[in-house]
Amino acid sequence: MRGIPWRLLGAGVATAILLDLPFPIAGPLPAWRAVFAWVALVPLLLGLFRLHEWEAARALRWRLGWSFLAGWLCGASWFGINCYWVYDTMHLYGGMNVAMAALSLVLFSLFLGIWFGVLALALTVVREATAGRRLEWVGFVAIPFLWVGMEFAIARVPSFPWDELGYSQIDNGWLMRLAPWTGVMGVSFLIASMNAWITAGMSRRKSFGFAGWLFTVFLVLFLTFLRGGQTPIAPTATAMLMQPNLDVVNDDVWVSSEWDRQMAQFQKLGVDTCKSFLNGMPQTRAMMVSPECDPNAAKPALLVWPESPAPFRGPDPKFQAGIAAIAKADVEPIIVGNIGMDTDPATQQDSIYNSGSVFALDGHEVGRYDKIHLVPFGEYVPARRLLFFAHQLTQQLADLGRGTERKTFRITSADGNTHRYGIFICYESVFGDEVRQFVQMGAEVLVNISDDGWYGDTSAPWQHLNMARMRAIENRRWILRDTNSGVTAAIDPYGTVRQSIPRHQVGVLAAEFGYGNELTFYTRHGDWLGVICAILSVGLLAISGRVLLSRL
């Protein structure tokens, strides 16, 4: 098998393995593993920069082709390792056989891995265009711009910005000062810059010096504008977050007695503010706290039921009456995850949505938010006609409708205070540029309802939690995260999980939280850094490509 650059391919696989270590694997991320993010990209980057030296006699097309394939292998391997839970979800909960579930994971990984291939190809084009022109430093400086440009593209085109590099530092309070300015992509930029600096140091001293100078300038600016510590934000209200722990496969039908039992439990737990909770995240060293019970304490400001397989259908009179009765009996406004439905008066066709409905103290429905960003192959099948061959995959899944409008809701609590809430559902938590729009619209607190029961005991619930924590940091808002099976938590504006309850248990969290009015730079401007990096990357690639074409 002569002609195959095994060192380059091996470097790609090494980066995929190292890149998975700073993210949750089967539980909460140990803090020490976050350090791997700062060197994870080095094997692939070093292999790409040395390919010209190793294989200088080879044709340019050969080097470009293998660079793309090495990047593709790296990306496919990383997505396969990081998102191994796709197999479990499809097999254990989606009804797929072993072969189809495995095939789904492979195709998923190969599809998303293409973006790493494009990144590697772009970097090689820049490297080849600047070789021997005293411009070798351009390739190293381009790395963080190309990386963030890739993250921006993945968020916009396949719409799967899962575990972007910056999430690996979610527990680094010092670095998280950057997020309210740049979002998670700014942290990714900083980490990619360090990887570029190390790569330059292992390649050529001149480039190492220039890249080090650039990194130092960026770091000094970072420290200058973001110095200062965290200001404690005292909670001023309490929300009751239900965790019903329903079976995601079987709990979609409640016959008469089961309906009555579940609704009675819902009502009872909705006022039980004396339940114990974890002072931090589950499955860590967080202590269980038993609160002092004050019979004269103010009524909770809100009662929340998560996205779940409960048989809650918006137009169902039984559902409407049941939720209204709980709101009146507990004297609490309610946000409840349910299936929303609309009927087109012209065609009489029904559209169904993954929704969150808001009920006032008197039991009437204030409004409904319909989920806008749906989960591909979970809530809809992209290119269903093209995937007709995947009979087992597409036959059992009906497409949900997409919501068309982001909304915030003015909710009045029992003490007469009115505040504005923003609701986002499950997968929407991974889109920072979208969640910030609720805050732009006046949301003083964010409510995230989710059903992570589909993930089982894999890495996904913990990865999902960390991405929700980043949304709190970017927008400086409390997030009330209510899930079917965990992690149900109160997240403060600095991304710290202040309270939670154990996973896979029926329970309720009396979550203390506060209201905010600050609009961060990121809230106002969104993924501005991603846009800049994408534009600069395209421009640099166009110039470098033109140089290479002139040599052919």
pLDDT tens-digit map of 101-118: 899 899 999 999 999 999
pTM assigned to the model: 0.92
Task: Give the span between the Cα atoms of 263 and 325, in whole angstroms.
Answer: 10
- Contacts for 174 with CB less than 8 Å, ≥ 6 apart: none
Residue 271: count other Cβ atoms within 10 Å of its Cβ.
18
Residues 344, 255, single domain; the answer is yes
Task: Give the span between the Cα atoms of 23 and 191, in whole angstroms.
Answer: 14
Residues 224, 247, single domain; the answer is no
Q: Which helix (H) or strand (E) holds 215?
A: helix 205-226
pLDDT over 60 at 55, yes or no: yes
Mean pLDDT of the chain: 88
Q: Which domain holds residue 175?
A: 6-229+527-551
Residues 172, 253, single domain; the answer is no
Residues 177, 257, single domain; the answer is no
Residues 47, 113, single domain; the answer is yes
Residue 386 belongs to some domain of the structure? no
Residues 167, 214, single domain; the answer is yes
Residue 143 belongs to some domain of the structure? yes
Q: What is the CA radius of gyration of the chain?
A: 25
Residues 94, 148, single domain; the answer is yes
Residues 43, 139, single domain; the answer is yes
Residue 455: count other Cβ atoms within 10 Å of its Cβ.
21
More confident residue, 539 or 270: 539
Return the CATH number at 460. 3.60.110.10
Residues 146, 243, single domain; the answer is no
Query: What average pLDDT does range 338-355 have in this prediction?
Result: 83
What pLDDT does 250 receive?
A: 77
Residue 392 belongs to some domain of the structure? no
Residue 379 belongs to some domain of the structure? no
More confident residue, 328 or 400: 328
Residues 46, 190, single domain; the answer is yes
Residue 298 belongs to some domain of the structure? yes
Residue 380 belongs to some domain of the structure? no
Q: How many domains does the chain have?
A: 2
Beta-strand pair 497-500/489-491: antiparallel
Residue 153 belongs to some domain of the structure? yes
**% of the chain exceeding 70 in pLDDT:** 88
Residue 384 belongs to some domain of the structure? no
What pLDDT does 52 receive?
A: 72
Residues 189, 289, single domain; the answer is no
Query: What average pLDDT does range 381-408 have in this prediction?
Result: 65
Strand ranges of the sheet holding 489-491, from the earlier edge strand across to the other edge: 288-289, 277-278, 497-500, 489-491, 479-483, 445-450, 418-425, 408-412
Q: How does pLDDT run across 398-446, given as a tens digit for each residue?
A: 577 888 899 999 999 998 999 999 999 999 999 999 999 999 999 999 9
Residues 254, 274, single domain; the answer is yes
